[in-house]
């Protein structure tokens, strides 16, 4: 087991970890859990800033909205989103793992959120809240906040997190889940 330790975020409450992906992009996260596996410390993290996803909004009511996963060709669309967010004193950050928005966001009303969850018929579908909607080249887009917790898995190295992706993620993810389940049972 390594002696790497995450840094404190200044408030002293929850330590933070800087995560890097293979492209060198960074994401500052709160450390939720540290799990030792195979001589490495794996961290379960949540982003400090609010994660968002870019969605192409269907032109008609019968169509389905499309989450844009590949953002490499979406620079012009994200530039429009930047401008709209700046009007609300928010900043779009092209982080590792996900897009994030920094700034003061209104917290969803817990009662309204519970009502939305009660109305949700399909348990497998993700629940999102629209942050902004905007137009680019006659097409409607939106930035949506996932209401389910957004977790990141990283391997700790030299006080920083290295994003766990691909084969390594496939290998450690079930073991991390099993360890978390075991810890949860131990708390009961």
The upper half-sphere exposure of residue 48, i.e. CA atoms within 13 Å in the direction of its Cβ, equals 20
Domain for residue 164, yes or no? yes
Domain for residue 16, yes or no? yes
Between CA 4 and CA 26 the distance in angstroms is 18
Domain for residue 1, yes or no? no
Residues 61 and 129 in one domain: yes
Q: pTM higher than 0.85, yes or no? A: no
Domain for residue 2, yes or no? no
Which residue in 179, 151, 174 sits closest to 163, CA to CA?
A: 151
User: Consecutive 10-residue runs of the chain (188 residues): their mean pLDDT?
Assistant: 45 82 91 92 94 91 86 90 94 91 74 55 64 93 91 91 92 90 80
Residues 58 and 84 in one domain: yes
Residues 62 and 98 in one domain: yes
What pLDDT shows up at residue 181?
87
Residues 79 and 119 in one domain: yes
Residues 59 and 104 in one domain: yes
Residues 130 and 55 in one domain: yes
Residues 99 and 81 in one domain: yes
Range of the domain at 176: 7-47+150-187
What pLDDT shows up at residue 124?
44
Residues 63 and 120 in one domain: yes
CATH number at residue 43: 2.30.30
Check if the beta carbon of residue 4 is closer than 8 Å to that of residue 157: yes
Residues 11 and 58 in one domain: no
What pLDDT shows up at residue 73?
85
What pLDDT shows up at residue 182?
87
Residues 129 and 167 in one domain: no
Residues 141 and 73 in one domain: yes
Domain for residue 30, yes or no? yes
Which residue in 118, 119, 116 sits closest to 130, CA to CA?
A: 116
Q: How many domains does the chain contain in total?
A: 2
Domain for residue 42, yes or no? yes
Residues 122 and 167 in one domain: no
């Amino acid at each position: 087991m390594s002696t790497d330790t995450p840094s404190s975020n200044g408030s002293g409450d929850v330590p933070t970890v800087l995560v890097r992906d293979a492209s060198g992009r960074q994401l500052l996260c709160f450390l939720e859990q540290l799990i030792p596996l195979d001589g490495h410390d794996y961290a379960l993290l949540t982003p400090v800033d609010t994660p968002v996803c870019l969605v192409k909004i269907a032109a008609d009511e019968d169509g389905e909205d499309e989450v844009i996963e590949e953002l490499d060709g979406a620079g012009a669309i994200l530039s429009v989103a930047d401008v709209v967010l700046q009007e609300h004193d928010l900043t779009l950050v092209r982080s590792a793992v996900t897009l994030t928005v920094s700034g003061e966001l209104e917290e969803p009303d817990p009662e309204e959120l519970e009502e939305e969850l009660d109305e949700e018929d399909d348990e497998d579908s993700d629940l999102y809240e629209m942050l902004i909607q905007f137009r680019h080249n006659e097409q409607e887009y939106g930035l949506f906040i996932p209401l389910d917790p957004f977790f990141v898995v990283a391997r700790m190295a030299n006080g920083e997190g290295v994003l766990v992706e691909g084969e390594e993620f496939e290998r450690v993810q079930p073991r991390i889940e099993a360890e978390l389940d075991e810890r949860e049972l131990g708390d009961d």
